[in-house]
Amino acid sequence: MGKDVIVACDFASAEQVFAFLDKFTGRKPFVKIGMELFYAEGPSIVREIKKRGHKIFLDLKLHDIPNTVKKSMSVLSGLDVDITNLHAGGTVRMMEAAVEGLTRPDGTRPLLIAVTQLTSTDQESMENDLLIREPIDKVVMHYAANAKKAGLDGVVCSPLEAGKVHDTCGNDFLTITPGVRFADGEIGDQKRVMTPAEAKKIGSDYIVVGRPITAAEDPVAAYERCVQEFCD
Ligand code: C5P
């Protein structure tokens, strides 16, 4: 796996997501299912999208005591998702438990990716609310190193951090990067953005793209443009 465009299907219902996916008659995009859709529709939405032939990144960002995360990961593994994730802030022990829970009896498992600090957390809120006084980029790299130590496969990060994550954790450690926009497109609420071509250059392994595709007049053309810029 690697070098693929993941479409963030941030829709509120199965009906909306199927109407969107029905437009793709050729190539089947890798799909990200987030909390909104999963909580609205339950595990059946994962099975149905999988049945349509899509790979799935289930973005539920688990964070709890190790035993609970281990058991929950075992359930997600049974759903046959391709990638899932958790918060690195749950500690190395929680991440190790997650890998254990995710691993099937035959030794296979979905890829497991860590969220370091959310991009909505800035230096000020990290210091004031979380009492973490180190520079945020040092915290992000430390959490990425913890994820690697626990046996995870990579991190979600800004495309601007992807190069540094690879320097710290090695080129095989995956970087999944949201915050992608076309050079001539709307930025919306994202602050630090990159084009698919720039994300490729900087070494992102997967880009997560939502509205530039889902809200496009021609979503299939927008998806193909992303693939062309990022993968080809
Ligand atoms: O529509 P847009 O391309 O901004 O969607 C980006 C997707 O990536 C959304 O599902 C968003 O929740 C997710 N994401 C993000 N920034 C992060 C982590 C996840 O934008 N740091």
Q: What pLDDT shows up at residue 159?
A: 85
When pLDDT is cut at 50, 70 and 90, the band that residue 121 belongs to is confident
pLDDT at residue 1 tops 70: no
User: Ligand 1: does its nearest atom lie under 6 Å from the Cβ of 190?
Assistant: yes
Residue type at 145 in one-letter notation: A
Q: What is the mean pLDDT of residues 207-231?
A: 97
User: Ligand 1: does its nearest atom lie under 6 Å from the Cβ of 211?
Assistant: yes
User: Ligand 1: does its nearest atom lie under 6 Å from the Cβ of 8?
Assistant: yes
pLDDT tens digits, residue range 63-79?
999 999 999 999 999 99
| Residue pair 209/5 in contact by the 8 Å Cβ criterion | yes
* CA 185 – ligand 1 centroid, Å: 16
pLDDT at residue 105 tops 90: yes
pLDDT at residue 192 tops 80: no
User: Ligand 1: does its nearest atom lie under 6 Å from the Cβ of 119?
Assistant: yes
pLDDT at residue 202 tops 80: yes
Q: What is the mean pLDDT of residues 34-53?
A: 97
Q: What is the mean pLDDT of residues 169-174?
A: 97
* CA 107 – ligand 1 centroid, Å: 31
pLDDT tens digits, residue range 204-218?
999 999 999 999 999
Which residues carry out catalysis?
A: 61
pTM of the model: 0.95
When pLDDT is cut at 50, 70 and 90, the band that residue 190 belongs to is confident
Tokens 């889902």 -> residue: 214
The mean pLDDT value of the chain amounts to 95
pLDDT at residue 40 tops 90: yes
Tokens 């890829």 -> residue: 111
pLDDT tens digits, residue range 148-165?
999 999 999 988 899 999
* CA 177 – ligand 1 centroid, Å: 9
In ligand 1, the atom with minimum distance to the C-alpha of 212 is 3
Q: Which residue's CA is minimally distant from atom 14 of ligand 1?
A: 178
* CA 119 – ligand 1 centroid, Å: 9
Q: Which residue's CA is minimally distant from atom 10 of ligand 1?
A: 8
When pLDDT is cut at 50, 70 and 90, the band that residue 175 belongs to is very high
Q: What is the DSSP string of the chain?
A: --SEEEEE---SSHHHHHHHHTT--SS--EEEE-HHHHHHH-THHHHHHHHTT--EEEEEEE-S-HHHHHHHHHHHHHTT-SEEEEEGGG-HHHHHHHHHHH--TTS---EEEEE-S-TT--HHHHHHHH---S-HHHHHHHHHHHHHHTT--EEE--HHHHHHHHHHH-TTSEEEE--B--TTS--TT-SS-B-HHHHHHHT-SEEEE-HHHHTSSSHHHHHHHHHHHHT-
Q: What is the mean pLDDT of residues 103-126?
A: 94
Q: What is the mean pLDDT of residues 123-144?
A: 95
Contacts of 178 (CB under 8 A, 6+ apart): 8, 119, 156, 158, 190, 207, 208, 209, 210
Higher pLDDT, 71 or 189: 71
pLDDT at residue 50 tops 60: yes
User: Ligand 1: does its nearest atom lie under 6 Å from the Cβ of 34?
Assistant: yes
In ligand 1, the atom with minimum distance to the C-alpha of 190 is 4
When pLDDT is cut at 50, 70 and 90, the band that residue 188 belongs to is confident
> Dihedral through CA 48, CA 84, CA 137, CA 168, nearest 10?
-130
pLDDT at residue 95 tops 90: yes
